[in-house]
Structure 1
Amino acid sequence: MRKLAYLLFVAALAAGGWWAWRQQEAAALPDYIATSNGRLEMNRIDVATLYPGRIRAVHVNEGDEVAKDAVLVELASDQSAGQLAAARAATEGAEDTVQRAQAGIKQAKQTVARAEAEIAAYRQQQKVAKLELDNARQMRRDNLISASEYSKREADYQRAVASVKAAEAARAEAQAAVAQVEAQAKEAAAGVRRAKATADTAAAADADMTVRSPLAARVEYRLVEPGNVVGAGSRVISLLDPGDISMNLFLPNAAMAPLQTGDEARIVLDGINAVFPATISYIASDAQFTPKAVETPNEREKLMYKIKLKIPPDTAKRYNRLLKGGMTGNGYVRTDRSQPWPITLNTHLPPQ
């Protein structure tokens, strides 16, 4: 019993000494410096799947550093693979249809060309037959040829005229065939575009079965294991952005009023001999009850304003192995920007 009482006394004495030291430290600061305790927070990114499937492989472990676009998780889906195969087959079929249509266009145009050549030849024959008929008509008037000879010349001319008309009809039919086949070719080309669009969509869906890191980050939680079946939008990996580190402070109205976003700030972490630069990235518009973890010099100050101090991304990334979410410390801001920082709060970074 005495031992327990002694331990409680020592603990109370240590807590009192620590509190007195913190109050003395705060009192030593200029009156234009406001401070509050807080914890480091790292921005968390929950990486999720776009489509349902079975987890084929997980390529990272908790605590791993991953690069941007690094493969985190692979999913397997028979439906996705089947859709991609079907889309590619449809594309190949549509391309074959286009090739056949183009061959049909070529053949139809050749038929038109032959018909035009025949028309030219038959017109020449018609011209000759017309001359011979005119000559025979004159000779018949002069009784230089018989009636049967004249009838023969007239029949030759009529055959020539009929041949020209038949060739012109064949050309019109061939031209109609060309127009029809060209329309079929256009429809086939549109089918190719539709099939390729479907194939691209299926390929994108299949590629999305591989989950990649959206940024260079640290793995916080591995939420799935191989063999798990997940739905669309299921979280699979939780990442921490090493370039997005901040600390929330809670200050009374008097200290908060002069502050603006973008103002300089400082962060001092427990157990680290360093002063990290920071800026005010957020100031709450409404007061809230003081969280229990926040120490206030005046117990009557129940309502406080939340502000967020953010360490510059390049500094945060440089010390990404040192800075961790949950580390405790103090944040400092100047209520008068025209005043210099105290020497003890000049930026001082730890050795790397």
Structure 2
Amino acid sequence: MLKKVLVIVAVAVLIGVAVWMNYKSKNQLPEGFATSNGRLELQRLDVATLYAGRVQQLLVNEGDSVKENAVLAELSSEQSNSQVMAAEAGKDRAKETVVRAAAEVSARQQQQKVAKLDLENTRQLYQQALVSKAELDRRQAAYDAEVAAVHAAQAAQAEATAAVGQAQAQIHSADSTHQDMLIRAPKAGRVEYRIAEVGNVLAAGSKVVTLLDPSDVTMTVFLPTNTVGKLKVGDDARIVLDGLNAVFPAKIKFIADQAQFTPKYVETADEREKLMYKVKLAIPSEIALRYNQLLKGGMTGNGYVRLNSRANWPKQWAIQLPQS
């Protein structure tokens, strides 16, 4: 009986050793590669209001996916409506002034024609000694006055036309302000937080909604000096997330130019390594968008980097995307 128990124990030990060796062989870091744990981060976009106002409607909830230029919220617009209406009324008045100025120009031109005819007739009569030189001078002065009046009317017409353009510019400005009371998504994303609620009075520049950009997914890892010195921006990397049977491709997007103390959540292989460099790994945007419902900020995992760009990635870190 004892011998049987010993055999069973020995077999169990051998199986345990085999499993441990297999696990170690799969997870042991090959030479020429480095790793560190980290968390996924999605680029955050704070959407704010350009003008002060009261929140009239909030059209999204936390977690909603929105398209670029989608309306997220609407602020009260009574004042902006009034500005638009006032600008449109100013344009109407300017148009009426243009019409009156055009009529004045036409009337003055007719009077100029009459004055010209009178002047020409008076010249003929003067040549026949039928009128005095004083009468000819009077008709000449009358004609010159009508010419000047035409020029003045034309200048008034041009000024009125310019006033129409100015009024149109005021309409554009007022309409732009009115449109800015609609808070729109600067790009496609996912709503993270509703910072304001209906009824809140916001100052200019106040945040209304926070969006996450699903196309900009990164993981920040911290690596020691002897590792960072062999890396460069644009190098290939891999990201393996906890709980997912997948290996995501990545690129080194950023390498800090100054070392810092190791954050507490970073598990380092050598406790003597106190100064680490921040390295940011980015998942390609097309892959991030394809799995935007799967990749969430805060997911934990490991980032792997290759210290020699000519080295082949081990089989366990071959790219393996999740099943759609």
User: Alignment partner for residue 327 of structure 1, among 283, 299, 302?
Assistant: 299
Q: Deviations over 1:198-223 (max 9, x none)?
A: 22111111110001000010011112
The 3-state SS of whatever aligns with 2:131 is helix
**Which stretch shifts more, 187-196 or 97-106?**
187-196
User: Alignment partner for residue 158 of structure 1, among 125, 131, 135?
Assistant: 131
The 3-state SS of whatever aligns with 1:259 is coil
Q: Is the 8 A contact 2:26 2:316 kept in 1?
A: no
Q: For residues 318 and 106 of structure 1, what CA distance do their matches in structure 2 show?
A: 69
Match status 1:263 vs 2:235: yes
- Following superposition of structure 1 onto structure 2, how do residues 54-69 of structure 1 map, counting pairs within 5 Å? 54-69=54-69
Q: Deviations over 1:10-49 (max 9, x none)?
A: xxxxxxxxxx99x936862321110011110000001000
Number of aligned pairs?
Answer: 305
Q: Is the 8 A contact 2:220 2:278 kept in 1?
A: yes
User: Alignment partner for residue 216 of structure 2, among 229, 244, 263?
Assistant: 244
The 3-state SS of whatever aligns with 1:158 is coil
Q: For residues 280 and 261 of structure 1, what CA distance do their matches in structure 2 show?
A: 5
Q: 1:246 to 1:25 in 2, by over 3 A?
A: farther
Structure 2, gaps ≥5 residues long:
1-19
Paired position in structure 2 for 1:99? 99
Q: Is the 8 A contact 2:42 2:212 kept in 1?
A: yes
- Following superposition of structure 1 onto structure 2, how do residues 273-288 of structure 1 map, counting pairs within 5 Å? 273-288=245-260
Paired position in structure 2 for 1:195? 167
Q: For residues 94 and 27 of structure 2, what CA distance do their matches in structure 1 show?
A: 81
Q: For residues 226 and 29 of structure 1, what CA distance do their matches in structure 2 show?
A: 53
Q: Deviations over 1:248-299 (max 9, x none)?
A: 0001111111100011101011111111110000001111111111100111
Q: 1:36 to 1:315 in 2, by over 3 A?
A: same
Q: For residues 247 and 113 of structure 2, what CA distance do their matches in structure 1 show?
A: 88
- Following superposition of structure 1 onto structure 2, how do residues 164-183 of structure 1 map, counting pairs within 5 Å? 164-183=136-155
Q: Which amino acid aligns with 1:77?
A: S
**Which stretch shifts more, 195-204 or 207-216?**
195-204
Paired position in structure 1 for 2:192? 220
- Following superposition of structure 1 onto structure 2, how do residues 12-91 of structure 1 map, counting pairs within 5 Å? 24=24, 28-91=28-91
Q: Which amino acid aligns with 1:253?
A: T
Q: Which amino acid aligns with 1:216?
A: A
- TM-score relative to the length of structure 1: 0.82
Q: Deviations over 1:64-87 (max 9, x none)?
A: 110000000001133222222222
Cα RMSD for the two superposed structures: 1.9
Q: Is the 8 A contact 1:29 1:342 kept in 2?
A: no
Paired position in structure 2 for 1:114? 114
Q: For residues 338 and 227 of structure 1, what CA distance do their matches in structure 2 show?
A: 60
Q: Which amino acid aligns with 1:210?
A: L
Q: Is the 8 A contact 2:125 2:131 kept in 1?
A: no
Q: Deviations over 1:172-210 (max 9, x none)?
A: 111111121122223223322322222211111111000
Tell me by how many angstroms 1:99 deviates. Answer: 1.8
Paired position in structure 2 for 1:208? 180
Q: For residues 173 and 24 of structure 2, what CA distance do their matches in structure 1 show?
A: 65
Q: Which amino acid aligns with 1:121?
A: N
Richer in helix (by share): 1
Q: Is the 8 A contact 1:44 1:241 kept in 2?
A: yes
Q: For residues 68 and 45 of structure 2, what CA distance do their matches in structure 1 show?
A: 13
Tell me by how many angstroms 1:125 deviates. Answer: 3.5
Tell me by how many angstroms 1:162 deviates. Answer: 5.2
- TM-score relative to the length of structure 2: 0.89
Paired position in structure 1 for 2:266? 294
Q: Is the 8 A contact 1:247 1:310 kept in 2?
A: yes
Q: For residues 262 and 99 of structure 1, what CA distance do their matches in structure 2 show?
A: 66
The 3-state SS of whatever aligns with 1:34 is strand
Match status 1:336 vs 2:308: yes
Q: For residues 83 and 119 of structure 1, what CA distance do their matches in structure 2 show?
A: 53
Paired position in structure 1 for 2:275? 303
Q: For residues 113 and 69 of structure 1, what CA distance do their matches in structure 2 show?
A: 60
Q: For residues 81 and 27 of structure 1, what CA distance do their matches in structure 2 show?
A: 65
Task: Select the structure of larger CA radius of gyration.
Answer: 1
Structure 1, gaps ≥5 residues long:
1-19, 131-156
Q: For residues 103 and 258 of structure 2, what CA distance do their matches in structure 1 show?
A: 75
Q: Is the 8 A contact 2:261 2:274 kept in 1?
A: yes
